[in-house]
Amino acid sequence: MVRLIPRERKFFDMFNSVAENMVEGAKLLNDIFNEYTSVEEKVRKLKAIEHRGDDLTHDILTQLNQTFITPFDREDIYKLASSIDDVLDFVDGAAERLVIYKIQDPPPAAKQLAQIIVRQAEELAAGISALGKNQEVLRYCVEVNRLENEADQVERQAIGLLFEHEKDAVTLIKHKELCETLERATDKAEDAANVLESVVVKSA
């Protein structure tokens, strides 16, 4: 891989912090589905993580406005920060729906999707770390995209099963929206991976 110009190293550290926060949020969401107890308390903790992500993203954008020479394209810095923030927004949004809709028994697909989100978050974090160290990045991007395709299949199958077997219309709507929100988080992870790929291509 061609070396990226290490002009402003603090951006790499800031992105690592944002990525680590995203992973923490994804793991907490996964924990909610793995052990479906004290849900409201866990959702409050996740909201705090989401707020921290907003602050970290704001710090990156503030630094961007104050920096003349950046380590990679300014637009890509903005897009990467925004897309990672979006992942956490949808993770938080899915968790909020558990409380707002008073979901007592989430569909199995929700747990599957949460597991996929964790794996994507970890791949993105590894890719971002590799970017700052001039290591191979594209393989992490490929895996994030593959996982997004897996999430699509899980969501489609889950919704099909809901319409086939769920007799209560309100439950169907709640579970369908939960799965769709989780799948949207995987879409945003793919967006972030696409930005990383763009950075590598532009630096080649």
Per-residue model confidence as pLDDT tens digits over 98-144: 999 999 999 999 999 999 999 999 999 999 999 866 568 899 999 99
Instruction: Tally the C-alpha atoms within 13 A of residue 192's C-alpha that lie toward its C-beta.
Output: 33
Q: Which fold has domain 10-203?
A: Methane Monooxygenase Hydroxylase; Chain G, domain 1 (1.20.58)
pLDDT digits (tens, 9 = 90+) for 144-183: 999 999 999 999 999 999 999 999 999 999 999 999 999 9
CA distances to 28, 33, 37, 85, 97 from 174, rounded to whole Å, are 21, 16, 19, 24, 8
Could you tell me the CA-to-CA distances from 80 to 12, 71, 87, 99 in Å, in that order?
12, 13, 11, 30
pTM over 0.85: yes
